[in-house]
Chains A and B, each alone.
Chain A
Amino acid sequence: MEKVRHFAKKVWMFLYQFRYFFAKLGISILTLCAVVILSFVLIVNMPGTVIDSFAMQLSIQRRIPLEQAMILAKQMLNYDPDSSLFSRFVVYLQQLLHGNLGISIKNNAKSVNIILKELLPRTLFVSSISLAISFFLGTFLGSRTTWKRNSVGSKILDGYIVTSNAIPDYIFALIIITVFAFNLGWFPNQGAYDAMILPGFNLPFILSLFFYATLPIMAYVFSQLSFWSMQMQGSALGVLGEDYINAAKARGIPKRIIVRKYLKRNAMLPLVTQLAISFGVMFGGAPLMESIFNYPGIGQAFSQAIVERDYYVVQGILLFVSVIVIGVNLFADTIYSFIDPRIRRSS
């Protein structure tokens, strides 16, 4: 008995260490529930004519009578307007828990899972590359300009930050697609790769992937770079006042090394959480950017589905993107306390 109690206490102590993690996990799960309810509301508010037109489409495609097609359509979509709201919600949840995000009602009843599987890698490709470029370049510029605050470079950076805040990212995207794709013709204006090249793991294909992603990456980097350099400047300004920087200066350590090893490393810590959040922001902003560049990713599929009123695709992509964003946020919150011991002690 004593042993059991001791063990239980130990388990409790172990779990108690992670109490903040559990609190955050709980909040994440509740947020997820809110998203699920939102997407369910979207489906419930769907006008009935949507089902009718879907059934028409089915009856033409499969050469079956309209009544049969109607029954089939309702089965395929799990759509049952006669049953109660609660039982519809239960069915909806069941489908979600089976990993079934629904099917497209406009695009040949293609499953949303397949749409996501096809398009997710492209969105991930563009957003992760541009995030990496803007993060490393931005933190570099930010720490440099904080160190030499009155130099010409920092004035230029300030000017750039204000301009890029004033011009929304999608408008910058419009400008560069006009100049580089339509006017100069250096870059393609749509698509993710050259249709003439056989997709596969070969050099020409990979090069064409990068070539087609250049303009979207440029647009993302333009808007993200100012954010990172601004954040880095703010964070580095705080670090600059710390005693260890003064001590390093007094010890005669070269400035280059102070910037690189003392200033930058310490100032970068709080930005790691931001990294995850901005990944989410990029994912959320993808509909606009991708539809301007005609880049076939999740975002473009989403905005197209909105315009076509393809309700199931909309809720499927919304759910998927929200799960990613929520998960990434949770991950960032958790990992932050491990990489920065100061936070762990104070919380």
Chain B
Amino acid sequence: MENVGGRSKKILLGIFVKLKKFFSSLFKVFFGNKLSGMGTSILVFFILLGIIGPYIFPYSTSISMEDQLLAPSFIHPFGTDLWGRDIFRQIVAGTSDVLSIAFLAAIFSVVLALVLGMFSGIVGGFFDKFIMFVTNVFLTIPSLPVFLILAAIFTVDNAVTFAIILSIFSWAGMCRSIRAQIISLKERDFIQICKVMKMSKGHIIFKELLPNVGSYILINFIIVMKNAITGSVGLMLLGVASFEPTNWGAILTSAKNNGALINPHSYMWLFAPILCIAIFQLGVIILSKGLDDTLNPRLRVM
């Protein structure tokens, strides 16, 4: 019995050590330098705001005309809108929406780019040429008009359709560079050695090639998130995507359509979502720069 207990302890210890290693390496990547630390903090702040925020600051849609367009105060940090609803709570309620659209769009486009890019890089031949043609088409067609058309054809009413529409145009460039990286990696010595050693294809793809494009994917994941937010808010401003009224883009749109551009009393209504978008984007950009510095050390020499 003692022996068994000892063994299980050892296994647990092993798992613990591995987890510790994993988390410390994760910590090193995301808090490796000042830039990525700042970016990660901003991102984590918004994620927490999206998850826990609605429980702390519940948002009620009830209208009260006495509180119309109040100035920022302790009770209403960002003031109130035309219908007397607290803007800060609206923004908190919309955070999870904005983030889920961004995350989903990033996941869709990264997965698409990764699968097609790796496949065309590894297989080559006709398939490669065809995929490169398709990416070329997607890179040349002006994206915003097609976004608009797609958003008009499919009624956008949930995060998934929105994310799909947004990711349609963000995978092509990524797919090209993943393919180029795979092709250059294929000729490197370590892959050649793996081939000579008759290692399985799965091993080469998942254990040798994938980690080498990992940093590129991580950085681009973040950049696609940024672009998805830019695109989604743009579509909302044009009024093609009707969505949750608490989404930052929707708040901005309703402020714009209800005279916030003209009325100085409602500037907070207009600038609160703008501020949130700008801070979030700033965090994302800083994080991607910081990650670039830690994961691609050759750039540091320059």
Contacts and interface: CB of A to CB of B under 8 A. Distances in A.
Q: Is B truly associated with A?
A: yes
A168 B233 contact: yes
Interface string A160-174: 001101111011001
A165 B144 CA distance: 18
B interface SS class: helix
A322 B261 contact: no
18 contacts: A27-B133, A28-B140, A30-B133, A30-B137, A38-B141, A162-B285, A166-B281, A168-B230, A171-B277, A175-B274, A182-B262, A237-B302, A284-B145, A287-B148, A288-B144, A288-B238, A307-B238, A322-B141
B136 interface: yes
Interface in A188-247: 237
Question: How big is chain A's contact interface, by range?
Answer: 35 or more
Which of A45, A283, A288, A317 counts the most B-chain CB atoms under 10 A from its CB? A288
Nearest to B264: A183
B165 to A, nearest CB: 13
B279 to A, nearest CB: 8
B238 A31 contact: no
A321 interface: yes
A27 B136 contact: yes
Given A170-B234, A174-B261, 17 more contacts: A31-B140, A167-B274, A167-B278, A167-B281, A177-B261, A178-B261, A178-B267, A280-B142, A284-B142, A284-B143, A287-B144, A307-B240, A309-B152, A318-B146, A318-B149, A321-B145, A322-B142
B261 A31 contact: no
A294 to B, nearest CB: 11
Contacts of A31: 136-137, 140-141
Contacts of B279: 166
Given A171-B278, A175-B274, A291 B261 contact: no
B285 A174 contact: no
Which of A27, A165, A302, A318 counts the most B-chain CB atoms under 10 A from its CB? A165
Contacts of A165: 281, 285
Contacts of B4: none
Nearest to A282: B142
Interface of A: 27-28, 30-31, 34-35, 38, 42, 45, 162-163, 165-168, 170-171, 174-175, 177-178, 182-183, 237, 280-281, 283-285, 287-288, 291-292, 302-303, 306-307, 309, 314, 317-318, 321-322, 325-326, 329
A303 B149 CA distance: 10
Contacts of B1: none
Given A288-B234, A288-B238, A307-B239, A174 B278 contact: no
Contacts of A292: 237
The 7 closest A-B pairs by CB, nearest first: A284-B142, A166-B281, A166-B282, A168-B230, A284-B144, A306-B148, A31-B137
B178 interface: no
Contact of B140 (A166, A283, A287, A329): A329
A314 B153 CA distance: 12
B145 A318 contact: yes
Contacts of B146: 38, 318
A306 B144 CA distance: 12
Interface string B235-256: 0011110000000000010001
A326 B140 contact: yes
Given A237-B302, A322-B142, A325-B142, A171 B137 contact: no
Interface string B141-165: 1111110110011000000000000
A306 B149 contact: yes
Contacts of B153: 42, 45
B189 to A, nearest CB: 25
A66 B73 CA distance: 61
